[in-house]
Chain A
Amino acid sequence: MTVTASAGLSDLRSFLHGLPGVDKVGVEARAAALATRSVKATSKATAIDLAIRMVDLTTLEGADTPGKVRALCAKARRPDPADPSCPPVAAICVYPAMVGVASAALAGSGVHLASVATAFPSGQAPLEVKLADTREAVAAGADEIDMVISRGAFLAGDYNRVFDEIAAVKDACGGAHLKVILETGELGTYDNIRRASWLAMLAGADFIKTSTGKVAVNATLPITLVMLEAVRDFRERHGRVIGVKPAGGIKTTKDAIKYLVLINETAGDDWLHPDRFRFGASSLLNDLLMQRTKLTTGHYAGPDYFTLD
């Protein structure tokens, strides 16, 4: 993909506006119905381990320090020091400035290193700055880049600009995987979420991600359902499997399992894998660990039995 890739897609707007609409009441009812699935016993154990393997353990604070990031990396490698059978998480997600520290701390662990880039979270910076941001993160050792789209351009109908930016960032990523954050909480409608999903996938995204975690509405079940339908339909048409990452606001095992049910009954098997689905979360991990311990020991351990990092 090159910066001018969208020139050949002069019909991008008519394509995006020709996608079937999303009925708000219907999609929310469907998500609510799937949320009533009862996942117990052995299926709950499977779900918890899978969810742990799907966590992008995240810290995106102005106050992040090398010490904080190292601690989080240790947690990512071995989430439950008391139980070696507990799998590591999928990835650590940090700001570009912290990538070097995280890279050293994760060396040899198999845990991926994701960095937000492109003037996260607002995306309001010149393209050159965004590309430099991306290149530096990759150079410092990030193998996954979480970029934000220009919501302003999207809402103004300038789809080609959004497309070109994504394509350019994809290019700057080199071998790193690209997750495109749609910031669904700012897009306003499910129709827009479906269009933005397709736009990102056509422009070269490896993953589409709901949110930065920095706005009022982050990941929700119906939003994720619309995105799962989009990746399912995209594969049918183009043969390429794109991942999905809900981020922000997913705090409990119960929530996480609802997302796995959504995958199971919408996109299907192929997305029940950390390469295809991630949870952008921080506090979720300890709840997963607590429920995991409960399943093995039969009783709840207090919060101090799980590490705070």
Chain B
Amino acid sequence: MFEYAPAPESRSVVDIAGSYGLFIDGEFDGGKDGNVFKTVNPATEEVLAEVTSAGSEDVDRAVAAARRAFGPWSSLPGAERAKYLFRIARIIQERSRELAVLESLDNGKPIRESRDVDLPLVAAHFFYYAGWADKLAYAGFGPDPRPLGVAAQVIPWNFPLLMLAWKVAPALATGNTVVLKPAETTPLSALFFADVCRQADLPPGVVNIVTGAGDTGAYLVQHPDVNKVAFTGSTEVGREIARTVAGTGKRLTLELGGKAANIVFDDAPIDQAVEGIVNGIFFNQGHVCCAGSRLLVQESIAEELLASLKRRMATLRVGDPLDKNTDIGAINSAAQLARISELSEIGAAEGAERWSPACSLPDRGFWFAPTIFTGVTQAHRIAREEIFGPVLSVLTFRTPEEAVAKANNTPYGLSAGIWSEKGSRILAVADRLRAGVVWANTFNKFDPASPFGGYKESGYGREGGRHGLEAYLA
């Protein structure tokens, strides 16, 4: 084997401070009650920084700042708001190397992905919604659509900066102001984004960042002066938020969990299907709500396909997220690692056959080898519950009818994949899948122009595209 020498991206391109305050009304300041928490590099368990834990008073201040900023911001002509968004997009492009390294350090994802996927998409989202800001009257929501007011946005740890972009860009383009809470384990890129906002001369209060754990988020979404709540995260928390918001008149969008079926028919382009399966479940360590975590393969080609998949998995490079040749980085947190391990144990205990390629994992940090389970049936918990890790459950089917039935037989409905060289089959099957996104002969492809969102317990509302504007307009 031709071994690649270590090719680490330089850490020195990012300057992380020892501690961070909250970003409220255009300024960084410490929290009122002085509580802090640490954010660690999941690949080494090294503490990266101390971050302020926002209490209720801090959230009040942030919402008040957003309220004050709302009037002037929403009165700006769309073309003026667009200028700020274009400026933010360009600054993100200019600082993309720094932000990519930061994202990999705080999240554990490989630099190849933060550099080639996350950051380009983040900039693309701001560019895309900048373009809409002066065209809202033509977006199909009436001649004079109005912003809602203050948006409370709570985002997850799997794509910290990208989820921020998905939330902040459409909110700002439509004239809303925001208070955003990044995830507890990945607060840093949102705080760097606050700096990007200052660099872009964004008026104070238009974007406010409050860091903290679940309590901070809970307080934010139930704040009486918030007009809109947007949440991406687990179905469990989403349900709680829906309960809190019910009857308050606040608008709500939820983007929750998934257990996507990736369906491979016997006439699939096999080598590309294998690539798509790998990308579907091992991209971002499987920390992807729309991950193709259930492989449904036609029984007539199952053996051959699994042999190819295993051969391909043996070439996956697991390790240092900052190495440019790493394919799979670290699991984001000890808690997530524990959950992945527990569900995998359950899968084995329930009789599914577990397989991982030989790979040596680092001693420190949170790591999980890419894993597949074969012989899984609909009755196994690993076929029903979201694992949110690099673990694939493999099921088989005999006919398109059975594939559709099994694919839809889940409480979730976020995404699905179809692999076939037969166009008519792709269209017929896609039509019957109850999933917000259906990919054909590809997987985990994102574009700001394309709406994204779920059916059933995967949430409601759409982000991205023209549809994504609707959630922020009355």
Using CB atoms and an 8 Å cutoff, list the residues of chain A in contact with chain B: 20-23, 25-27, 29-30, 36-44, 46-47, 50, 229, 260-261, 263-265, 268-269, 272
Contacts and interface: CB of A to CB of B under 8 A. Distances in A.
A41 B276 contact: no
Contacts of B270: 20
B388 to A, nearest CB: 24
Nearest to B301: A20
A40 B7 contact: yes
Contact of A26 (B3, B116, B442): B442
Given A21-B421, A25-B442, A26-B441, A47 B2 contact: yes
Given A36-B116, A37-B325, A38-B325, A27 B5 contact: no
A229 B308 CA distance: 11
B1 interface: yes
A44 B2 CA distance: 10
A25 B324 contact: no
B409 interface: no
B272 A38 contact: no
Given A40-B5, A46-B2, A47-B2, A20 B271 contact: yes
Contacts of B268: 20-21
A50 B179 CA distance: 56
Contacts of B276: 26
Contacts of A229: 271
Contacts of B3: 43
Contacts of A21: 267-269, 421
Contacts of B4: 37-40, 43
Contacts of A46: 2
B19 interface: no
A288 to B, nearest CB: 16
Contact of B272 (A27, A260, A264): A27
Contacts of A264: 1-2
A36 B326 CA distance: 11
Contacts of B267: 20-21
Interface string B268-282: 111110011000000
B356 interface: no
Q: Which range contains the number of B residues in contact with the other chain? A: 20 to 34
Given A26-B441, A265-B315, A272 B421 contact: no
A26 B441 CA distance: 8
Contacts of B272: 22-23, 26-27, 30
A221 B324 CA distance: 20
B325 A30 contact: no
Interface string B302-339: 00000000000001000000001100000000000000
Contacts of A41: 5
Nearest to A263: B2
A283 B309 CA distance: 38
A43 B442 contact: no
Contacts of A22: 269, 271-272
B218 to A, nearest CB: 40
A269 B311 CA distance: 13
Interface string B27-46: 00000000000000000000
A44 B116 CA distance: 23
Given A27-B272, A47-B2, A272-B2, A38 B324 contact: yes
17 contacts: A20-B267, A20-B269, A21-B267, A21-B268, A21-B421, A23-B269, A23-B421, A23-B441, A26-B271, A26-B276, A29-B275, A38-B324, A38-B325, A42-B5, A43-B3, A47-B2, A264-B1
Contacts of A265: 315
A26 B5 contact: no
Of A23, A36, A41, A265, most B-chain CB atoms within 10 Å: A23
B417 to A, nearest CB: 12
B112 interface: yes
B238 to A, nearest CB: 33
B5 A36 contact: no
Nearest to A19: B270
B2 A26 contact: no
B251 to A, nearest CB: 37
B325 to A, nearest CB: 6
B2 A260 contact: yes
A42 B7 CA distance: 11
A261 B1 CA distance: 10
Contacts of A30: 271-272, 275
B441 A25 contact: yes
A46 B3 CA distance: 9
Contacts of B441: 23, 25-26
B3 to A, nearest CB: 6
A237 to B, nearest CB: 11
Contacts of A269: 1-2
A26 B269 contact: yes
Nearest to B275: A30
A39 B270 CA distance: 28
B230 to A, nearest CB: 31
By Cβ-Cβ distance, the 3 closest A-B pairs, closest first, are: A26-B272, A38-B7, A23-B269
Contacts of B5: 39-44
Contacts of B116: 36
A202 to B, nearest CB: 19
A39 B324 CA distance: 9
